[in-house]
């Protein structure tokens, strides 16, 4: 196997969050109900902790030890915590010791929280910590960095691919975090490297706290990826959750790894990132997305970091999910996929031929079918070209300025050439949104037939359906109603009422799930993003 001699310097000082702590704001229910999954039980348990119903939480956890034996690490820890918050130190320590008898060992940082202050001075607790430390040390002897690489659909080793490097949170493993950092967008277009640290956190998870070990792990991982796979060095993105987010920020903002951008969720915020680091990152053209949640315990630090990044001139998207603690939002995949468009495509084209890309983009927007056909015949890769705003050839054709008769055959041609029907520009807008805004009903029908989503929201929170109502595009709306099964009659009634209003008026639109009312206003520019 070919090996590269390049060693990428990485200086990462990571802190880890306790993997077992409960952070969700969950639904309530009867504590004695049977839960089909651990996730359901965990959500209910979070509610009990939030409401300080510690006796009920302890009773639930005692049953969960038998119901979910593969989750004994979390269940014994949380049982001990519930007992401690009841004021019962003896039973709290007994729960931890029972965990040891089951072969469990815990993360040392799990006991750094103030909640454990009542027992920290007890000899029994100190003896427990020493046994726990020895178990970690023994496991560390056999630990090694682990790397899993996922190749995209239709993988072709002769072409270069963008690379996403995913770093887990503290106390996680590849198996834990890989599902959350996998999505249709990554599977379709990216090499994805899932890196598991060699640093043992607990019996089932790992961390990134040792700077030198982190340097070795990531350098070795990247060396292997570059040696074995065709990586485009100008399209490398790093991202992670919690302490993995911390490591991603340090790597990106300190200029390590040569990354183009970063995408972090609920990150621990580095304390040693200086203004010089930020200015240098801005000069490199670094882009990023900082995603977090309303109840994350570091949300104000994250908000302050986003403000610093913006003041330094970095292109950064800050997104906050309401009503959730330190955990993954239900719509994390679309959040991250929109962020990928921002950090990679804005400011460059997909292809290495700028002249050809510029020519086909202009021809598509101008409705010049012959020119588009000639350019595609010369280089079929130009079907994926993008401009500085991340707009594809399909975007330009779908909203073309010469009308639908000129746009429709170009859309058909570009789709036949392999263009992605639901590609997003830097503002999270699809070709379908452009067609809906322009009022091109047949183009809309064609794109919807190819799988384009009518309810995908852009970075302004609007969908193609909402832009169609905003612009009073009757033909487009009829097509969408015909091709898409809306969930309620109320939704249809709201749309019909909206259609009766003047195009230049303010329009109140109930979105298709009936949960939310948004006010929109007719745009003054030719296209939706302008």
Q: What are the pLDDT digits (tens) for 457-508? A: 776 677 887 778 777 777 787 777 665 544 444 444 444 444 443 233 333 3
Q: What is the mean pLDDT of residues 106-110?
A: 86
Find out whether 401 and 433 touch, Cβ atoms under 8 Å: no
Lowest-confidence range among 123-127, 194-198, 284-288, 468-472? Answer: 468-472
Q: Which helix (H) or strand (E) holds 79?
A: helix 72-85
User: 0.85 cut: is pTM over it?
Assistant: no
Higher-pLDDT residue of 297 and 346 is 297
Residue 390 pLDDT > 80? no
**Residue 184's pLDDT band (cuts 50, 70, 90):** confident
- CATH 1.25.40.20 region(s) of the chain? 354-520
By C-alpha distance, which of 136, 190, 153, 163 is closest to 257?
163
Angle at 440 between CA 434 and CA 446, to 5 degrees: 85
Residue 27 pLDDT > 70? no
- Across the beta sheet with 315-321, what order do the strands follow? 146-150, 191-196, 161-167, 231-241, 261-265, 287-293, 315-321
The residues pairing with 428 across neighbouring beta strands, listed in sequence order, are none
Q: Is 19 helix (H, G, I), strand (E, B) or coil?
A: coil
Residue 103 pLDDT > 60? yes
What distances in angstroms separate CA 290 from CA 183, 296, 340, one per listed residue?
18, 13, 12
Angle at 485 between CA 482 and CA 488, to 5 degrees: 115
The residues pairing with 265 across neighbouring beta strands, listed in sequence order, are 241, 291
Q: Do strands 206-207 and 287-293 pair parallel, antiparallel, or not at all (unpaired)?
A: unpaired
Domain 38-139 architecture: Alpha Horseshoe (1.25)
| pLDDT above 90 as % of the chain | 40
Q: What is the mean pLDDT of residues 353-377?
A: 83
Q: Is 334 helix (H, G, I), strand (E, B) or coil?
A: helix
Q: Tell the CATH topology of 146-345.
A: Rossmann fold (3.40.50)
Residue 7 pLDDT > 50? no
The packing angle between helices 404-416 and 441-449, to 10°, is: 20
By C-alpha distance, which of 390, 260, 245, 256 is closest to 306?
245
By C-alpha distance, which of 351, 399, 398, 400 is closest to 378?
351
- Residue 363's region, left for phi above 0, alpha for psi from -120 to 50, else beta, is alpha
Higher-pLDDT residue of 516 and 312 is 312
pLDDT for the residue 459: 67
Lowest-confidence range among 6-10, 290-294, 313-317, 353-357? Answer: 6-10
Distance of alpha carbon 359 from alpha carbon 327, whole angstroms: 45
Residue 59 pLDDT > 50? yes
**Residue 323's pLDDT band (cuts 50, 70, 90):** confident
Lowest-confidence range among 2-6, 164-168, 199-203, 436-440? Answer: 2-6
- The average confidence (pLDDT) of the chain is 80
Find out whether 469 and 455 touch, Cβ atoms under 8 Å: no
The DSSP code for 196 is E
Higher-pLDDT residue of 326 and 497 is 326
Q: What is the mean pLDDT of residues 185-211?
A: 90
Q: Is 317 helix (H, G, I), strand (E, B) or coil?
A: strand
By C-alpha distance, which of 476, 402, 371, 481 is closest to 432?
476
CATH number (1.25.40.20, 1.20.1250.20, 1.10.287.70, 1.25.40.10) of 354-520 reads 1.25.40.20
pLDDT for the residue 220: 87
pLDDT for the residue 191: 97
Distance of alpha carbon 199 from alpha carbon 175, whole angstroms: 16
What distances in angstroms separate CA 430 from CA 364, 392, 401, 421, 477, one per listed residue?
15, 9, 17, 8, 17
What distances in angstroms separate CA 462 from CA 207, 428, 509, one per listed residue?
39, 10, 11
Q: What is the mean pLDDT of residues 165-175?
A: 92
Higher-pLDDT residue of 406 and 491 is 406
Higher-pLDDT residue of 19 and 282 is 282
pLDDT for the residue 92: 96
pLDDT for the residue 240: 93
Angle at 159 between CA 250 and CA 190, to 5 degrees: 45
Higher-pLDDT residue of 97 and 426 is 97
Distance of alpha carbon 401 from alpha carbon 494, whole angstroms: 30
Q: Do strands 231-241 and 161-167 pair parallel, antiparallel, or not at all (unpaired)?
A: parallel
Distance of alpha carbon 187 from alpha carbon 440, whole angstroms: 31
pLDDT for the residue 465: 79
Find out whether 211 and 177 touch, Cβ atoms under 8 Å: no
Distance of alpha carbon 495 from alpha carbon 501, whole angstroms: 10
246: exposed, middle or buried (C-beta count within 10 Å: 0-12, 13-18, 19+)? buried
pLDDT for the residue 26: 37
Residue 145 pLDDT > 60? yes
Q: Which helix (H) or strand (E) holds 77?
A: helix 72-85
One DSSP character per residue, 114-153 reads GGGGGGTT-HHHHHHHHHHHHHHHHHHHT---EEEEEPPT
By C-alpha distance, which of 185, 170, 179 is closest to 18?
170
């Amino acid at each position: 196997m070919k090996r590269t001699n390049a060693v990428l310097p990485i200086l990462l000082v990571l802190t880890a969050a306790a993997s077992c702590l409960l952070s969700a704001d969950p639904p309530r229910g009867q504590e004695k109900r049977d839960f089909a999954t651990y996730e359901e039980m965990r959500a209910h348990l979070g509610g009990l902790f939030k409401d300080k119903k510690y006796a009920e939480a302890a009773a639930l956890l005692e049953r969960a030890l038998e119901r979910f034996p593969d989750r004994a690490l979390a269940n014994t820890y949380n049982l001990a915590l519930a007992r401690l918050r009841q004021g019962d130190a003896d039973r709290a320590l007994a729960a931890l010791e029972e965990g040891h008898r089951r072969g469990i060992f815990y993360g040392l940082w799990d006991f750094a929280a103030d909640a454990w202050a009542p027992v920290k001075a007890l000899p029994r607790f100190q003896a427990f910590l020493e046994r726990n430390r020895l178990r970690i040390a023994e496991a560390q002897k056999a630990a090694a960095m682990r790397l899993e690489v996922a190749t995209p659909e239709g993988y072709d080793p002769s072409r270069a691919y963008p690379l996403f490097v995913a770093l887990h949170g503290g106390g996680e493993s590849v198996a834990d975090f890989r599902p959350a950092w996998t999505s249709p967008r990554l599977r379709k277009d990216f090499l994805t490297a899932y890196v598991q640290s060699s640093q043992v956190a607990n019996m089932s998870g790992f961390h990134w706290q040792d700077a030198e070990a982190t340097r070795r792990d990531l350098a070795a991982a990247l060396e292997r990826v570059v040696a074995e796979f065709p990586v485009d060095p100008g399209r490398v993105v790093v991202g992670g959750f919690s302490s993995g987010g911390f490591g991603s920020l340090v790597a990106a903002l300190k200029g390590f790894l040569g990354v183009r951008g970063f995408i972090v969720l609920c990150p621990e915020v580095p304390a040693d990132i200086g203004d010089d680091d930020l200015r240098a990152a801005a000069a490199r053209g670094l882009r990023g997305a900082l995603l977090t949640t309303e109840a994350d315990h570091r949300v104000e630090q994250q908000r302050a970091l986003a403000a610093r990044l913006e003041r330094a001139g970095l292109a950064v998207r800050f997104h906050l999910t309401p009503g959730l603690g330190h955990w993954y939002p239900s719509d994390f995949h679309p959040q991250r996929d929109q962020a990928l468009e921002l950090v990679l495509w804005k400011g460059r084209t997909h292809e290495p031929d700028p002249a050809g890309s510029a020519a086909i983009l202009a021809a598509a927007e101008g409705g010049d079918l012959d020119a588009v056909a000639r350019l595609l015949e010369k280089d079929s890769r130009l079907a994926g070209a993008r401009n500085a705003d991340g707009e594809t050839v399909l975007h330009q054709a779908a909203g073309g300025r010469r009308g639908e008769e000129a746009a429709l055959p170009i859309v058909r041609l570009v789709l036949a050439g392999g263009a992605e029907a639901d590609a997003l520009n830097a503002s999270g807008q699809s070709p379908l949104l452009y067609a809906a805004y322009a009022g091109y009903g047949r183009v809309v029908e064609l794109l919807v037939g190819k799988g384009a989503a009518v309810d995908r929201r852009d970075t302004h929170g609007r969908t193609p359906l909402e832009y169609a109502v905003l612009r009073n595009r009757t033909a487009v709306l009829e097509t969408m109603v015909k091709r898409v099964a809306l969930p309620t009659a109320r939704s249809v009634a709201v749309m019909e009422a909206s259609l009766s209003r003047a195009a230049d008026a303010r329009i109140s639109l109930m979105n298709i799930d009936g949960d939310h009312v948004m006010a929109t206003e007719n745009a003054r520019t030719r296209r939706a993003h302008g």
